[in-house]
Structure 1
Amino acid sequence: MDLAALPVLSLADDPQRFSDEIGASFRQFGFAMVKDHGLDPDLVASAWRLTEEFFALPEAEKRSYILSGKGGARGYTAFGTEIAKGAKISDLKEFWHVGRELPAGHPLASDSMPPNVWPSRPEGFRETFEPLFAAFDAAGATILSRIAIHLGLAANWFDPAIEDGNSVLRLLHYPPIPGDAHGAIRAGAHEDINLITLLLGAEEAGLELLTREGNWISVSPPPGALVVNIGDMLQRLTNHVLPSTTHRVRNPDSERSRYSRYSMPFFLHLRSDFPFVTLPECITPENPDRYPVSITADDYLQERLREIGLKM
């Protein structure tokens, strides 16, 4: 199976055609690549520039934005903090989280959804990432509406499920590989927690997915396209009809190990109080309900954050 089999889809296509195509790609790979998603190229270019500028700040300055006890929900998470589920060595990365802003007194405001913090440098950080978050949010909602059609649901089925959802925009920096990495890699093999992830591609290669046949293949979207993949929450909701796919960011070859890698995933989440009830459309005699006990999206999230070292 070669990389050419992973399609590049257009969100501007007829909704039914896009629905059929992303459903087929998700069932085979758990991944798809999507163009014509509506993100402003100038806004994206500003976001890349500001991401590089922020991570170039002094370590002490970046660490001043760590929010204790919040599980990395907002602000800065230092290098070597996050670890893939089941791994023994932390990933070689640092990151910043921008989340949804809730009005004062909102019933979903909590440690899981605290207010954003904003760095004093670089200039224009908040003014760039607030509208970029909103743009990702809109594109993600449109893609979910197409997934709903593929599942035999109403196109607007996910709208109330993601209203005020706990989505997060992550700015990721993988520094040059240290000489004492001792088997650590940039991001260990893992599956995402959320419903779907929308990822802006990185200049440096490294993202790989694990095929159903057990082979690692490179995922390198064309300029401007998004990589979209299923998270464990959608896998659970669909009773594994749409499976979450293991992926990783491998270390580069020796020549490229001296260069940083930046990427920008948007983790689209359900509302914190959303109750998981397996979709009846995804339950059959051959595929009985794997999750008869319902839990909330936030219960699920907290369990996973403990598994990856972001909460105790």
Structure 2
Amino acid sequence: MMELPVVDLEGYLGARELEVDEGEVEAKFKKLCEEVASCLRDTGALVIRDPRCTTEDNDRFLDMMEKYWGQSENFKRQQERPEVFYQVGVTPEGIETPRCLFDESLQERMNELSEDARPHVPSGADPKWRFMWRFGPRPSSTRFQELSSDPVIPEGFPEWQDTLNSWGRKMISAVEVVAEMAAIGFGLPKAAFTSLMKEGPHILAPTGCDLSKYGKKDTVFAGYHYDLNFLTIHGRSRFPGLYIWLKDGRKVPVSVPPGCLLLQAGKELEWLTGGECSAGMHEVVVTDKTVQAIEAARKAGRSLWRVSSTVFGHIAYDAMLQPLGHFATAPRAHLYKPTFAGDYVRSELSVIKLKGRKTPGAQITPRSP
């Protein structure tokens, strides 16, 4: 089990509030900012401690989502909105299909990995539910109105809006600080990333995996994939099962310490850095430790739904994705043509949301049992 180094944001946050000269803050924390940038570049992941995001906040959110996921399928499907690409409301299990099942470039990448680093091969669409909750200010006008739909609120959950908005805002605030520190660490202006995130379509998108139904070892809840957004942040889950791939191809299980948050680099960050900071590949599967946690939860009478508290931090749809600053001359920068973030997101969603289409068989070399 890999424990990534924990970056404590408290000192940087305090300096931002107290220091008048921004240059002094950047100079004082330059080394820490470089550590943030280096970790995102080399591993695609980062663990942070943000005093504004507490264990109590995370538990409040997990408790409510366990209650929601425990409702009947008919109830949950009332919040389904396929007409807007499932970008608000609930996405039932069996809808989101792992890109590795039909993306030949990803299949080649998987087959090039060493035997002990191979992903688990999904048998079809992910058996996970997801709820998409947008929060934060929306642009007054946008080219991508169909991707900016109104939120969906389930009946019988009076605490829904407050709980989701509070946790979502706290986590996106942590993302913004990391984005600022990463920009400094990469040698870019401090606001290089955060200025593009303004009025972005940030989404709190918890998943729900029914471990009473899908608790068998090696069940794949989220097949080998990258995230299409800028930075993804997760609170600590009550059940393990996350694997990430480092830039050198090593596959490692990740343990997030109590009171901490996990961040992962997404495709929009890869675009803005000209490929220097690759989107982190990852999967979620049932492991031996997951099975142990299931048995412990069952004996204690706790919920058997695995909930992730995930926020997708996005670049604004109307902002341009292109390599920034010195990244414009990176060796692979020519592969990242200027593109509106909304156009990029729309193209990705049309691929991974295969409603009504048969999923092609994957040409992936199976892992050894």
Residue aligning to 1:17: 31
What is the CA deviation profile of residues 45-80 of structure 1, one whole-angstrom value per residue up to 9, with x for unaligned ones?
221111001111111111001113111111111111
- Normalising by structure 1, we get a TM-score of 0.90
Pick one of 84, 101, 122 that aligns with 2:157: 122
Pick one of 4, 7, 14 that aligns with 2:5: 7
Residue aligning to 1:301: 345
Whether the 8 Å contact between 1:30 and 1:230 is mirrored in structure 2 is yes
Pick one of 64, 78, 84 that aligns with 2:92: 78
Residue aligning to 1:67: 81
What is the CA deviation profile of residues 117-156 of structure 1, one whole-angstrom value per residue up to 9, with x for unaligned ones?
1111233111211122221222111111101101212212
Cα offset, 1:212, TM superposition: 3.0
Residue aligning to 1:145: 180
Whichever of the two has the greater Rg, that structure is 2
Provide the rounded CA distance (Å) in 2 between the counterparts of 1:108 and 1:84.
28
- Provide closer, same or farther for how the CA distance between residues 17 and 180 of structure 1 changes in structure 2, counting only shifts above 3 A: closer
- Provide closer, same or farther for how the CA distance between residues 201 and 103 of structure 1 changes in structure 2, counting only shifts above 3 A: closer
Residue aligning to 1:278: 323
Provide the rounded CA distance (Å) in 2 between the counterparts of 1:109 and 1:287.
31
Whether the 8 Å contact between 2:274 and 2:322 is mirrored in structure 1 is no
User: Match of 1:290, SS?
Assistant: helix
CA RMSD of aligned residues (A): 2.5
Q: Which amino acid aligns with 2:57?
A: L
Q: Which amino acid aligns with 1:83?
A: T
Whether the 8 Å contact between 1:54 and 1:121 is mirrored in structure 2 is no
Which stretches of structure 1, 4 residues or more, deviate above 6 A after TM superposition?
179-183
Larger helix proportion of the pair: 2
- Provide closer, same or farther for how the CA distance between residues 242 and 195 of structure 1 changes in structure 2, counting only shifts above 3 A: same
Provide the rounded CA distance (Å) in 1 between the counterparts of 2:68 and 2:338.
41
Residue aligning to 2:207: 172
Whether the 8 Å contact between 1:19 and 1:147 is mirrored in structure 2 is yes
What is the CA deviation profile of residues 262-283 of structure 1, one whole-angstrom value per residue up to 9, with x for unaligned ones?
1111110011111122123114
- Normalising by structure 2, we get a TM-score of 0.77
User: Match of 2:71, SS?
Assistant: coil
- Provide closer, same or farther for how the CA distance between residues 241 and 81 of structure 1 changes in structure 2, counting only shifts above 3 A: same
Provide the rounded CA distance (Å) in 1 between the counterparts of 2:214 and 2:176.
42
Residue aligning to 2:133: 98
Matches within 5 A, 1:18-37: 18-37=32-51
Q: Are 2:61 and 1:47 equivalent residues in the alignment?
A: yes
User: Match of 1:21, SS?
Assistant: helix
Whether the 8 Å contact between 1:185 and 1:249 is mirrored in structure 2 is yes
Residue aligning to 2:313: 268
Q: Which amino acid aligns with 1:225?
A: C
- Provide closer, same or farther for how the CA distance between residues 178 and 230 of structure 1 changes in structure 2, counting only shifts above 3 A: same
Cα offset, 1:299, TM superposition: 0.7
Provide the rounded CA distance (Å) in 1 between the counterparts of 2:336 and 2:278.
18
Provide the rounded CA distance (Å) in 2 between the counterparts of 1:221 and 1:172.
17
Q: Which amino acid aligns with 1:295?
A: T
**Percent of aligned pairs with the same amino acid:** 21
